[in-house]
Amino acid sequence: MKIRESHLEPDRFYHIFNRGVNSKLAFLNDENFNFFLRKAKIYIVPYFEIYAYCLMPNHFHFILKTKSEIDYSSGFKEKGLHSEECFYSKMLSKFISSYTQSFNKVYQRTGPVFESPFKRILVNSEEYLRNLIVYIHQNPYNFQEYRFSSYLAIISDSETSIQRKKILELFDNRMNFIECHQNKDLNLNINFVKDFEL
C-alpha cells in the first residue's frame, strides 16, 4: 500500500519519521530544534500522545499514539486528503509544512526541507514499542546528555508533554527504563532500518 493511502487510525501507535531532502540538514542550530518542538506542541500534542522523539541534524523520529477523542467540527466532509480519515496525516503535514515555511523564510530558500510524504509504521506490539523507544533514544552517540530527544524528559521529574508515566509503566519503572537504554547490543527487528539508512 502506498504511504499516502495508509491512513492513521485512532487509538493506534505509529513510528513517524522523516529526513531532510537528499539527506541534507533539516536543523542547522539549537533554535531550529527548539522551534520544531514548539510547533510540535501546537500540531501534535492536541491530537497525539507522544511516547518518544529524537531530532537529529538531518532527520527526526516520533512515536505517537493517535487520540481517539478528536473534535472534527472544522469540517472534513470531503473525500481524499481533506476527509476525516486523513485528519491525523493532515495535522502531521501541517506541522512539517509550518516548520518548512519558517525555515525557508529565515534562510531565504524555497522548496521542501523534508522528504514527502513523511514515513509511518504501525507499532503493533508492546515489545516492538519498547524496543523502538530505546532505538530512537540511542540515535545520538551521547544520548544520556542529548537535549533534543525525550530521554531526559522521561527520566526527570520536570513538566513535560511526553507520556512519562505510561512509558515508565511499559518498562516497569525508571531504573529498568535506564538499564534497557544501556544495552548497546539491543537486537532489534525493525523493518524500516534497511529502507531508511541515514
Q: CATH number, domain at 108?
A: 3.30.70.1290
pLDDT at position 85 is 67
Whether residue 4 lies inside any domain: the answer is no
Considering only CA atoms, give the Rg of the chain. Answer: 17
Whether residue 194 lies inside any domain: the answer is no
Instruction: For residues 89 and 120, give the distance between their C-alpha atoms in angstroms, rounded to a whole number.
Output: 10
Whether residue 197 lies inside any domain: the answer is no
pLDDT at position 3 is 46
pLDDT mean over 23-33: 97
The beta strands (E) that lie in the chain are given as: 13-19, 48-56, 59-66, 119-123
Neighbour count for residue 175 (Cβ, 10 Å): 11
pLDDT at position 196 is 39
* Element (DSSP H or E) covering residue 52: strand 48-56
Number of structural domains found in the chain: 1
Instruction: For residues 23 and 21, give the distance between their C-alpha atoms in angstroms, rounded to a whole number.
Output: 5
Please give the share of the chain, as a percent, with pLDDT higher than 90.
77
Chain segment 46-97, per-residue pLDDT in tens: 999 999 999 999 999 999 999 987 665 544 444 444 455 688 999 999 999 9
Whether residue 195 lies inside any domain: the answer is no
- Would the pLDDT of 187 be above 60? no
Whether residue 134 lies inside any domain: the answer is yes
Q: What is the mean pLDDT of the chain?
A: 87
Is residue 91 within 8 Å of 43, Cβ to Cβ? yes
Cell numbers representing residue 58 in the block: 538531518
Host domain of residue 110 = 10-188
pLDDT at position 12 is 96
Whether residue 114 lies inside any domain: the answer is yes
pLDDT at position 198 is 32
Whether residue 74 lies inside any domain: the answer is yes
- Would the pLDDT of 112 be above 90? yes
Whether residue 3 lies inside any domain: the answer is no
Neighbour count for residue 138 (Cβ, 10 Å): 20
Chain segment 4-25, per-residue pLDDT in tens: 446 899 999 999 999 999 999 9
Cell numbers representing residue 125 in the block: 506490539
